[in-house]
Amino acid sequence: MARANAARLESPAVWALCAAPLLLIFYWGFTSQLTANPVEFVLRDLGLWGLRFLCLTLAVTLLAKYANLPWLMRYRRRIGLWAFAYVALHLTVYLGAAHEFDWAEIGADIAKRPYITIGMAAFALLIPLAVTSAAAVRRRMKPRSWRALHRLVYVIAIMGVAHYFLLVKADIRSPLLYAAIVATLLGARLVASARPRKARAAG
Amino acid sequence: MLIRNAPDLKDCDVTDQGLYLARRQFIAGAAGLGLAACGGASPASAAPLKYSPNRMSIDENKTPLDDVTGYNNFYEFGTGKEDPAAYAKMMRSRPWTITVDGLCDRPGSVDIDELIRRFPLEERIYRMRCVEAWSMVIPWVGFPLASLIKSVGPKSSAKYVAFETLRDPRQMPGQRSAVIQWPYREGLRLDEAMNPLTLLAVGLYGQTLPNQNGAPIRLVVPWKYGFKGIKSIVRIRLTDRRPQTSWQMLAPGEYGFYGNVNPAVDHPRWSQAKERRIGEFFRRKTLPFNGYGEQVAHLYRGLDPRKLY
């Protein structure tokens, strides 16, 4: 009984955890804790959460398979879509609040500044992943091509880190931390997939 | 105009303290007001200063005190904008000694309070434009750097002025990581240093400087980006060579020696054409020399304006 109740709470709990960073921004907004420069703060915060959720989706696959937490797989799609949501909100704040939809200025920014170019490309690559995550679309795709497409998330995570790395002024410690996280996740995945048969046979 | 010429009027006569403390009341309601009134607004060590108004002040809305003291770049206390407000209390800004030396007739060291007694203080309400494309309007209290330089008798060979911030990782936890090559260094050409706009600030909003704003004494050069305004100065040196400056040492492709506010020259990673005035949602156009062109443009005649950043 207790177990059934816990299972019933699991999904809303995951949902709440994914939404928490966004709700926190609203809470800070209503209590004027978004610093003296709210646009900059919200832009950075949303971008960071986009990157964090990208790392989480990568971690979910690994943990589900190799840390014996298969139930995590139920939430991989949801976490991935939240990553997309945070990145999309980050982009919206960039376009609307940081640049007031000044398209000439935004176009110049994309053309001139590598970190903006990379960020935009990463977002563009996320779109097909978000679209093909819908169950109906996934069913129509060959599993092999779906998996191949979704491996793009590693490329996107690397681009996300590069975007972050190139924008900081002097203190590269935080971008380095995310570079290390993505490298570890990618490395673990490569090591794991180098011996897939053995692992599956053992399991 | 009338107000500025009245010698007895102080900042607090123009703007009620409660008014500038009541930041973003429209969002926060009573909670925000309460926080501003009892939180970081006035540090324990703040003491009122005696000063007279000055006609070089601008007539624009001042940035609220808790934004001026709560949103800072002062990497000695961390690279986050709110780190200085959180950690600057670790610094002792009294007693404090400043050394003025190099190519001058009367080099020496002087205690900060003695220095403040020596020069009459003025209020200067200046624009402050950060290289990161945000800006504030700050009522500084200080005295012209020119007064100090004249008092030590600069030699004719002196062409530049070099400044250094305190270096003490025990008081400045940000210095424990080598984000910048410590101590923080800045420099001006002697004619820039002697310009009447160039200020050594010892206070803001009528009180002694809060630590996070560069107590007990800092440089204010309103036509240059904020990073030129070196904080918590311990040494001022007259020299015949262009001094090294911290941000140029770190990223010479991104920060020049002059650091003049120039909307026509982008930072490699963002445009400098506009700025966000703290407290406003829509951006403003950035003005050449931050709007002080009339007073300073002549200093740069003959120099390639594209290199003036």
ipTM for the assembly: 0.86
| Residues of chain B contacting residue A35, judged by C-beta atoms under 8 Å apart | 70-71, 81-82
Assess if residue A28 is contained within a domain: no
Assess if residue A25 is contained within a domain: no
Chain A residue with CA closest to B31: the answer is A31
Confirm whether residue B231 is marked as ligand binding.
yes
pLDDT computed for residue A196 by the predictor: 59
Structure token digits, residue A147: 């998996």
Assess if residue A12 is contained within a domain: no
pLDDT computed for residue A170 by the predictor: 86
CA angle A136, A139, A141 (to 5 degrees): 115
Torsion sign, CA atoms A65, A69, A75, A80: negative
In chain B, where are the structural domains located?
A: 2-307
CA angle B267, B269, B275 (to 5 degrees): 60
Under DSSP, is residue B256 helix (H, G, I), strand (E, B) or coil? coil
| Cβ contact A113–B179 (<8 Å) | no
pLDDT computed for residue B12 by the predictor: 46
Residues of chain B with pLDDT under 70: 1-45, 305-308
pLDDT computed for residue A198 by the predictor: 52
| Cβ contact B28–A108 (<8 Å) | no
Residues of chain A with pLDDT under 70: 1-4, 196-203
Task: Give yes or no for a contact between B69 and B40, defined as CB atoms under 8 angstroms apart.
Answer: yes
B67 touches chain A (CB under 8 A): yes
| Cβ contact B276–A37 (<8 Å) | yes
Task: Give yes or no for a contact between A82 and A53, defined as CB atoms under 8 angstroms apart.
Answer: yes
pLDDT computed for residue A193 by the predictor: 80
| Residues of chain B contacting residue A39, judged by C-beta atoms under 8 Å apart | 276, 281
Note which residues in 37-56 of chain B have CB less than 8 A from chain A: none
Q: E strands of chain B, at which residues?
A: 52-53, 97-102, 108-111, 122-129, 134-144, 160-165, 185-189, 199-204, 207-208, 218-220, 233-239, 274-277, 284-285
**Burial category of A164 from C-beta neighbours within 10 Å (exposed 0-12, middle 13-18, buried 19 and up):** buried
Assess if residue A166 is contained within a domain: yes
Assess if residue A86 is contained within a domain: yes
pLDDT computed for residue A66 by the predictor: 86
Assess if residue A141 is contained within a domain: yes
Domain range for A186 is 38-202
In a mutational test of the B interface, the residue from A25, A26, A30, A32 whose CB has the highest number of chain B CBs within 10 Å is A32
> What residues contact residue B211 under an 8 Å CB cut-off, 6+ apart?
B43, B45, B84, B88, B89, B91, B93, B232
What dotted CATH number matches B2-307?
3.90.420.10
Q: Which of B164, B119, B139, B283 has the alpha carbon at shortest distance from B222?
A: B139
d(CA B197, CA B261): 15
Q: With residue B178 as reference, give the H or E element that holds it.
A: none
**Burial category of A12 from C-beta neighbours within 10 Å (exposed 0-12, middle 13-18, buried 19 and up):** exposed
CA distances from B70 to A168, B82, B86, B168, B227 (A): 21, 6, 9, 22, 17
Assess if residue A4 is contained within a domain: no
Confirm whether residue B76 is marked as ligand binding.
yes
pLDDT computed for residue B108 by the predictor: 97
The 10s digit of each residue's pLDDT in B168-179 is 999 999 999 999
pLDDT computed for residue B304 by the predictor: 81
Q: Which of B89, B86, B93, B131 has the alpha carbon at shortest distance from B232?
A: B93
Number of domains in chain A: 1
Q: How many CB pairs lie under 8 A apart between chains A and B?
A: 61
Q: Name the residue facing A30 among B23, B27, B276 (closest C-beta).
A: B27
| Residues of chain A contacting residue B27, judged by C-beta atoms under 8 Å apart | 29-30, 32
Q: Which of A54, A81, A79, A47 has the alpha carbon at shortest distance from A155?
A: A54
Confirm whether residue B61 is marked as ligand binding.
no
pLDDT computed for residue A169 by the predictor: 85
